[in-house]
Chains A and B, each alone.
Chain A
Amino acid sequence: MNPKFSVILLTTLIGAGQGLFIAVFAVELGAHFGLVTPPIIPWFYFYGALLSLGFTFAGLVASIFHLGRPSRAWRSASQWRTSWLSREVIVLPAFMAVTALYAAAHFLNWNGPYGSGEGGITDPTMLLGFAGFALAMILYLCTGMVYACLPFLREWATPLTVVNFTLLGLASGFALAAAATLARPPLVRVYAACALAFTIAGLLGRLAALARNARLRPKSTIQTAIGIKHPRIAQKSQGFTGESFNTREFFHGRTIAFVRSVKWVFLLAGFVVPAVLLALALAGAPKATVVAAFVVQFAGLVAERWHFFAQANHPQNLYYQAVA
């Protein structure tokens, strides 16, 4: 497939935004049960939710650029019964709305039972947080399934796609949370530790996917594509000498060496370097290392997503092997 930067940015930005929301709500939940000390930064939850909203909104804007007719985008919510893309289109704005309500509820200090200020599990902020957490997880599922549900794109058609979208989103979200809470050492340590754990888990998941894809044997061949039983079939003409939608959309046009080098770039920048930086930050390195960890990891995850698209080999490419 030919990677589109609008889709790459959509999936990476909303993944980080969802992870950040979960990170923010995890602290509220943890504080409620006395597991973490509640943050003393004023408006912590409010700004955290707002930053998450900023990331998901940026992702939504990026997604518009891959549509031919963005003005009709509202129609894409109609086929939720059959289409994972339609489900994603519904869950993303729902998650953004709940995030906005969560920010508003904290802004209005509705964190006592129905606004009393005492704090409890049935607070409006807490209920909205649970709803946001559920929607964030469902959105990871929808985003992953958009790719995992296409059976003949075999590099994608695996549960690992959903697992990796979730783990990488959580890793970048918690790294972002650590970078955003620099001024608050106990909190930044919790976030950095979680981000490190998710990064390592994400690395394992991604390596598993790479190992699986390296062993894939194509199900469709030129023989099944045109239905002729002969070991030697060579295309002599694809029917036109210029380009077409089929040659632009499904071929990335890069060399195998380039794709392979992107793999090493994303393995280093997306996983190894941020993991080392997060470990250094936990070991007492200057606070700015967590910021560097997030920036490097996000760039690495953009490369990861590029490779994810480029690696998928569409069976239609069998029909476009030779111009003339």
Chain B
Amino acid sequence: MTQLALVIDLNVCVGCHACVTSCKQWNTSGTAGPLADFNPYDKDPTGAFFNRVQSFEVGEFPNTQTVHFPKSCLHCEDPPCVPVCPTGASYKRAEDGIVLVDYDKCIGCKYCAWACPYGVRELDEERQVMTKCTLCVDRITDTALPEAERKPACVLACPTNARLFGDIHDPDSVVSTAIRENAGYALMPEWGTHPANHYLPRRKTERHIHADELTRADNPLKVDGLKPKPPKSDPALDDVMSW
């Protein structure tokens, strides 16, 4: 069984929104049709996005951390949005675990959005169908692309490599390794949705320096623990050079 997923490293994300814009660009240009925007260059702009970057302040001044938090569909292993769909438009692909919406079957009743605790489904107000992250299914399965480019647009766009993509059911994949070795966690575990996407926590890189590391133990000038102190009568460097 394959379960494709993203792993997002909050330690590395700088909140640049490159994943948001690349996601929008790819998914508004595909065969599924444009992701509608309204008043994009005007007052009160609005539109459907699959991916958002939010910012949170953790702690109290002056001890604060700004956490940039990219949020998209988590492709839950037990997705609550799928069984509630009355038309079968919302489904989870058996072969790779991607949760998708069949835009030709969706009636736009919004019940799946009610059933998602993460708020990652957005109605396309122009097409009047529910839209959501597809993990760029039309890109990752496109054999016409070079192998290295068969990744979601957001992963390729991330300048800090904060987004990893792979199969979390494969223990040796880059995502499984990252989750295992860097304490990856799932969002809102209390609802038993088992999100496939994981987040890596903020990590502090600390180095402990012991006192004996501050002085070079094998310094030949300090063999006896004393600095060499030549008598005053010995020629100094200036005397050597003066002739």
Contacts and interface: CB of A to CB of B under 8 A. Distances in A.
A89 interface: yes
A37 interface: no
A316 B119 CA distance: 5
Interface in A179-238: 219-220, 222, 224-228, 230, 232-238
Nearest to A237: B55
B88 A226 contact: no
Contacts of B85: 79, 83
Given A220-B117, A319-B119, A83 B109 contact: no
Contacts of A75: 86-89, 105, 107
B54 interface: yes
B139 interface: no
A230 B128 CA distance: 39
A237 B54 contact: yes
A298 to B, nearest CB: 25
Contact of B190 (A68, A224, A234, A235): A224
Contacts of A241: 45
B83 A230 contact: no
Contacts, number: 174
A312 B179 CA distance: 34
Given A85-B84, A224-B188, A238 B54 contact: yes
B113 interface: yes
A255 interface: no
A160 to B, nearest CB: 19
A66 interface: yes
Contacts of B189: 224
A320 B119 contact: yes
B107 A68 contact: yes
A76 B59 contact: no
A73 interface: yes
B174 interface: no
B84 A82 contact: yes
Interface stretch (A118-126, A243-251, A280-288): A243-251
B41 to A, nearest CB: 12
Contacts of A234: 56-57
A245 B47 CA distance: 8
Interface string B65-85: 011010100000000100111
A242 B87 contact: no
Interface residues of A, number: 57
B124 to A, nearest CB: 9
Given A68-B107, A230-B58, A314-B119, A245 B52 contact: no
Contact of A245 (B44, B48, B69, B115): B48
Interface string B133-169: 0000000000000000000000000000000000000
A68 B31 CA distance: 21
B12 interface: no
Contact of B187 (A76, A83, A224): A224
A289 to B, nearest CB: 40
A152 B83 contact: no
Given A152-B191, A244-B122, A320-B119, A67 B56 contact: no
Given A228-B58, A233-B58, A83 B84 contact: yes
Contacts of B129: 68-69
Given A85-B111, A228-B58, A246 B119 contact: yes
B199 A68 contact: no
A86 B88 CA distance: 10
Interface residues of B, number: 61
B119 A151 contact: no
Interface in B183-203: 185-191, 199, 201-202
Contacts of A316: 116-119
A245 B88 CA distance: 22
Nearest to B104: A72
A242 B123 contact: no
A317 B48 CA distance: 17
Interface in A1-25: 1
A226 B190 contact: no
A236 B84 CA distance: 33
Contacts of A146: 111
A242 B46 contact: yes
A219 B192 CA distance: 12
Contacts of A250: 119
B243 to A, nearest CB: 72
A315 B117 contact: yes
A42 interface: no
B122 A83 contact: no
B55 A236 contact: yes
Contact of A239 (B54, B57, B109): B54
Contacts of B69: 226
15 contacts: A67-B109, A72-B87, A72-B106, A82-B84, A83-B86, A220-B191, A227-B199, A235-B54, A235-B56, A236-B57, A237-B54, A239-B54, A246-B119, A314-B119, A315-B119
Given A1-B114, A72-B105, A319-B119, 10 more contacts: A68-B129, A75-B89, A76-B87, A83-B83, A146-B111, A228-B202, A236-B55, A245-B122, A249-B110, A315-B191
9 closest A-B pairs by beta carbon, nearest first, are A68-B108, A316-B119, A68-B128, A76-B86, A239-B52, A82-B83, A86-B86, A75-B87, A237-B55
